[in-house]
Chain A
Amino acid sequence: MDWGSILAETVNKFFGVQAAYFALAAIGLNIHFGYTGLLNFGHAGFMAIGAYGLAISLQNGVPLLLAVLIGLLAATAFALLLGAPTLRLRADYLAIVTIAAAEIARILFRATEIAGFNTREYTGGSTGINGFADPFKDLNPYTGSVDLWFVSFSRNDAWTVTVGWALVLLSVLFVHLAMRSPWGRVLKAVREDEDAARALGKNAYSIKMQSLVLGGLFGALGGMIFVLGQSSVQPTPQDLGAPKTFFIWVAVILGGTGKLWGPVIGSMIFSALLQFTDLTLRGFQEEGIIPTWFMDGVQVGQVRFILMGLGLMLLMAFRPQGIFGDKRELALDVR
């Protein structure tokens, strides 16, 4: 088995397109769950709405920046729609409604017609939209593939990665500024105890709504980088459905909720980890160490989900503060 190439590809994933868009989406989810305590299990819905908003706009000749703006506006509307009925209620209602709404969004994107209106013309139905990313690719300043001493990217990936990580850094700066402010303090207070915040004159409903919108915007940005990177947007679950939401959750919890760099580091580690287990398992299989009756090629792809589920459980039960937990927080018995 070629450990060298496995290692190289794993390291590549640390900094790859996936890590970057995961990080963006995870920053959004961290605002929701980590800082505000909102149980958003429909993050893929925000990603899908951002992605489709962008793709449909580009497809119809809208300039790139305006298309991004349209995607962000659509995500804002989605957040308001989700928040209005749920944010006054107990936290778990938001979980139910978000997971359902994300699924609704995906079904609607996949549909061919909605109430007599032919939507496939815009969304491409179950085939999605392909090849809309040219306005983005045209801006690519790289002339060929990029090889640094530890990573290498194709020309296209290099450009997506550059833009993606630049956005991640800007987002981290933004979150840093927001969370050190009194606004961030109210957010965290609502996470700790909403009623206490209300008793001190803080409008918990409004602040939760702001958080839902803001985090959703980062989710939408993540979705955009994702579909720009593969220049195709598809309404499949693994692309923009519930499994994607759960991936982002694991990334956030892995890195540590409510921590500035948590979602970024969590995304990098998780992306690399997925790649590493995949490659190792496939390697073992080719070597015959894992017999095919036990695990075939298709099953290898499923192992990542099994590990993700197990990881989510174990992390939440034993290290809810993430793998780099703060000792003070650990001692606190916060659950």
Chain B
Amino acid sequence: MSADTPTDTVTSTAADVLTDVQQVPGSPKPDPMLTADGIIRRFGGLTAVDVRHLEIQRGVITALIGPNGAGKTTFFNLMTGFDTPDEGTWNFDGVAMGKLPAHQVARNGMVRTFQLTKALSRLSVIENMKLGAGHQKGENLFRGLVKPIWGAQEREIEARADALLDRFKLAHMREEFAGTLSGGQRKLLEMARALMTDPSLIMLDEPMAGVNPALTQSLLGHVKSLRDEGRTVVFVEHDMDVVRDISDWVVVMAEGSIIAEGPHEAIGANQTVIDAYLGTSHDAPLDLGEIDVEGAS
């Protein structure tokens, strides 16, 4: 898939549903997939996340941006069950997520990737992929001992994995240890592996970070294709070109709160956002950003 393909038309149709949405923090969406209310997370004296209200529209690509230390990764962690907020409730596709552990969140269809990719180094690429599939009969120890029970399902999973490897251009690495992949290939693998779970909402934490420019375009294409096949995408990104290129809606966080929402054209002109970037990224709470980086490792 080339980046020059006129995907703009698709972008505009998907974004069309958002044209009437108010461009203010916490604005209601026509068909929210994820709704968060009063999410607060403190570390010691620091309030890392304080999100009053947020709705993520179904079937579009939402970018989550903000200066270092804005609390984006922490917010991801909270939504996906990897961290627990001090206060707040959220529901995903109508299901309350508050008390669910991370693996349950994933089984409900909200799947995330990590800022620092987590390739399972000593498993082969195909094993990485097959791991992603849900509802595997053979994942029970006793049933696992008897191959006839899970063999057929395993073949289906493998076929699905191979198709995805083809799509993500990793088929030639099929039998290699995932640890031997390059940084960009790991990003691709992680995205493909997440797709094996057949998620309805996929949360990508800096999918382009550390990827060489040659791969960036193909990654962007893949992200857009996720939306085009009906999935909802939320991603954290620092590169404004990327945000401009693929996002239908942008949510801006600073110092833990949401300070602006809107399509990228409007965000670029928003004075609060400019202040947040220019004002704080140089002075104040750089430290939280450092924690962010560490927290993801």
Asked if residues B107 and A201 are in contact (CB atoms below 8 Å), the reply is yes
With a cutoff of 8 Å between Cβ atoms, the chain B residues found around residue A184 in the complex are 144
B118 touches which of A177, A181, A193, A210 (Cβ 8 Å): A193
Q: Which A residues lie within 8 Å of B121 (CB)?
A: 192, 332, 334
* Closest chain B CB from A59 CB (angstroms): 33
CB of A181 within 8 A of CB of B145, answer yes
Docked CA distance A89–B118 (Å): 19
Q: Per a CB cutoff under 8 Å, which of A186, A196, A210 touches B114?
A: A196
Interface string of B147-161 (1 = CB under 8 A from A): 100100010000000
Give A31 Cβ to nearest chain B Cβ, in Å: 11
Query: CA A126 – CA B134 in complex, angstroms?
Result: 52
**Nearest CB in chain A to that of B112: its residue:** A199
Chain B binding surface, main DSSP class: helix
- Chain A neighbourhood of B123, CB < 8 A: 185, 188-189, 192
Q: How far is the CA of A20 from the CA of B130 in the complex (A)?
A: 36
Interface size on B, residues (CB 8 A): 42
Stretch at the interface among B40-48, B135-143, B228-236, B268-276: B135-143
> Is the pair A192, B141 in contact by a Cβ cutoff of 8 Å?
no
CB-based nearest A residue for B106: A201
Tell whether A199 pairs with B80 under 8 Å between CB atoms, given A192-B121, A192-B122.
Answer: yes
Is A195 an interface residue, CB under 8 A from the partner? yes
**Cβ contact within 8 Å between B118 and A182:** no
Q: Which of A183, A193, A333 contacts B139 (CB 8 A)?
A: A183
Assuming the contacts A183-B144, A185-B131, A198-B102, asked whether A329 and B122 have C-beta atoms less than 8 A apart, the reply is yes
List, in ascending order, chain B residues with CB within 8 A of A328's CB: 177, 180
Knowing A199-B80, A199-B102, A329-B177, the reply to whether A185 touches B130 (Cβ < 8 A) is: yes
In the complex, the answer to whether B103 meets A181 with C-beta atoms within 8 Å is no
A193 contacts which chain B residues (CB < 8 A)?
Answer: 118, 120
Give B79-98 interface residues, CB cut-off 8 Å to A. 80-82
Partner of B141, one of A189, A196, A210: A210
Q: Size class of A's contact patch?
A: 35 or more
Residues of A within 8 A of B112 (CB): 199
Chain A residues within an 8 Å CB radius of B132: 200
Given contacts A193-B118, A199-B112, A200-B197, contact A182 B144 (CB under 8 A): yes
Residues 206-233 of B, flagged 1 when their CB comes within 8 A of A and 0 if not, give: 0000000000000000000000000000
Add 20 more A-B contacts to A177-B145, A181-B138, A185-B139 (CB < 8 A). A174-B145, A181-B145, A181-B150, A182-B139, A185-B123, A185-B131, A186-B131, A188-B123, A189-B131, A191-B122, A196-B120, A198-B106, A199-B102, A199-B106, A200-B132, A200-B193, A203-B103, A329-B122, A332-B122, A332-B179
